[in-house]
């Protein structure tokens, strides 16, 4: 268990515009920092978790908040050593240091690590709007080697704007993480000439630690032989959770982070199949929501659009499987076309019992689909009534 340090190492709360300088100081041995979310509920929850008046646990340089899509945030303690290890591994895999572009919230680990990579390498970290509308202006000021880190939604929307393609294709690597990259979207990016690198990781691993299915240097990934649960070891692991030794003991066993994800190896590459808790019981049958969502993403009519498959409480089925497209309400025949597409891909009991549209899908501030909020929105207004053919 981590022990608090002396009171003179109090946590420094940092606003977004002050983060690059504060992060540089923390990595050099200065006061530990906590990047703050924008004012509002998320900041209030982060402050309640951080308890800034309490001494900071030993070894922590940064306390980064997890996104609150599954409840209240946790404070992930990242050491300077872990951040530097992760940064070195990223640059080694990508072919060397370069300038970085930040289009993600910097108070979450993906955005924080963009700043950290530039700080450690002595390169530039340029900010852009989340919709990447000013990407071209920013890339004109970058060096010859450049990297961008975004989420799938940003990639999909950028590909719809031809004016952004010259800037997108100028990057040596476009890291895409924070959620699954659908096959049609990956294909569209490849056709456009965008050098996409898919990433898997979490706050507890200093962000992405597996690129295109291959663990980075000094990252050890193992799968439980029974249920495929992913565990991760190596030098980029976090030091624990802020003021929660109980949560740390649950998550770290024998020096390894035990995740809630399940995966499989295929041709030496890791495929993340989803979370272990993504299985619901519908009509007495176990349904893997991640598998259903993966099948729905292969529907040609979806294109590069986003979709979420969730389980909604239902009187008849216990939990009804519902597919929600990001967009307008589909036409009445669309559900039949989707079911026909899924007929040879899923058992009938797993096919979505409703096909709905939401514009936009609710998201956390980190860009991930907020499934808890989506389910809450669906319960009172859209009870699933359609049944698979």
For residues 114 and 135, give the distance between their C-alpha atoms in angstroms, rounded to a whole number.
Answer: 16
User: What's the CATH fold of domain 283-381?
Assistant: GMP Synthetase; Chain A, domain 3 (3.30.300)
Q: Is 192 strand, coil or helix? A: helix
Map residue 3 onto helix, strand or coil: coil
Cα 355 to Cα 348: distance, rounded to the nearest angstrom: 15
pLDDT tens-digit readout, 346-373: 988 899 999 999 999 998 877 788 888 8
Listed in sequence order, the residues at least 6 apart from 196 whose beta carbon sits closer than 8 Å to its beta carbon are 155, 173, 174, 176, 181, 186, 189, 190
pLDDT for 123-177, tens place per residue? 999 999 999 999 999 999 999 999 999 988 899 889 999 999 999 999 999 999 9
Residue that the structure tokens 């976090």 belong to = 238
CATH fold group of domain 12-272: Rossmann fold (3.40.50)
Q: What is the pLDDT of residue 279?
A: 84
The mean pLDDT value of the chain amounts to 90
Tokens 């359609």 sit at which residue? 386
pLDDT of 384 above 70: no
pLDDT in tens, 231-251: 999 999 999 999 999 999 999
Nearest to 294, CA basis, from 305, 281, 309, 282: 309
Of 9-13, 28-32, 310-314, 383-387, least confident by mean pLDDT is 383-387
Given pLDDT bands bounded at 50, 70 and 90, which one contains residue 274?
confident
Q: Whole-angstrom Cα distance, residue 35 to residue 17?
A: 10
What is residue 380's predicted lDDT score, i.e. its pLDDT?
56
Q: pTM, whole model, 2 decimals?
A: 0.81
pLDDT at 71: 54
Backbone phi, then psi, for 72, in 5-degree steps? -70, 150
Contact call for residues 220 and 210 (beta carbons, < 8 A): no
Q: Is 233 helix (H, G, I), strand (E, B) or coil?
A: strand
**Ranges of each domain in the chain:** 12-272, 283-381
pLDDT of 16 higher than 80: yes
C-beta separation of 205 from 199 below 8 A: no
């Amino acid at each position: 268990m981590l022990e608090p340090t002396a009171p003179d190492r109090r946590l420094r709360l940092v606003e977004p515009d002050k983060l690059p300088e504060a992060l540089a100081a923390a990595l050099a041995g200065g006061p530990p920092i906590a990047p703050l979310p924008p004012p509002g509920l998320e900041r209030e929850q982060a402050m309640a978790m951080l308890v800034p008046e309490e001494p900071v646990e030993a070894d922590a340089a940064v306390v980064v908040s997890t996104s609150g899509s599954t409840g209240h945030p946790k404070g992930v303690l990242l050491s300077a050593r872990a951040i530097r290890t992760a940064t070195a591994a990223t640059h080694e895999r990508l072919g060397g240091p370069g300038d970085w572009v930040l289009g993600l919230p910097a108070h979450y680990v993906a955005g924080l690590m963009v700043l950290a990579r530039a700080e450690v390498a002595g390169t530039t970290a340029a900010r852009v709007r989340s919709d990447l509308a000013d990407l071209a202006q920013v890339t004109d000021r970058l060096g010859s080697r450049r990297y961008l880190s975004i989420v799938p939604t940003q990639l999909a929307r950028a590909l719809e704007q031809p004016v952004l393609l010259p800037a997108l294709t100028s990057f040596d690597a476009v890291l895409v993480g924070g959620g699954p990259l659908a096959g049609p979207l990956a294909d569209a990016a490849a056709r456009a000439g965008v050098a996409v690198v898919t990433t898997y990781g979490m706050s507890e691993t200093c962000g992405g630690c597996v690129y295109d299915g291959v663990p980075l240097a000094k990252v050890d990934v193992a799968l439980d032989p029974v249920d495929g649960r992913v565990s991760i070891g190596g030098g980029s692991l976090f030091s624990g959770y802020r003021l929660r030794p109980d949560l740390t003991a649950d998550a770290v066993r024998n020096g390894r982070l035990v995740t809630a994800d399940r995966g499989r190896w295929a041709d030496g590459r890791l495929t993340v199949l989803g979370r272990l808790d993504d299985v619901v019981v519908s009509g007495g049958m176990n349904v893997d929501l991640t598998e259903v969502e993966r099948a729905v993403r292969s529907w040609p009519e979806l294109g590069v659009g986003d979709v979420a498959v969730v389980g909604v409480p239902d009187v008849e089925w216990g939990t009804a499987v519902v597919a929600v497209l990001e967009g307008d309400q589909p036409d009445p025949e669309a559900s039949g076309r989707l079911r026909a597409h899924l007929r040879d891909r899923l058992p009938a009991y797993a096919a979505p019992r409703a096909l709905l549209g939401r514009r936009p899908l609710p998201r956390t501030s980190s860009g991930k689909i907020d499934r808890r909020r989506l389910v809450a929105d669906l319960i009172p207004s859209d009870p699933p009534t359609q049944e698979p053919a």
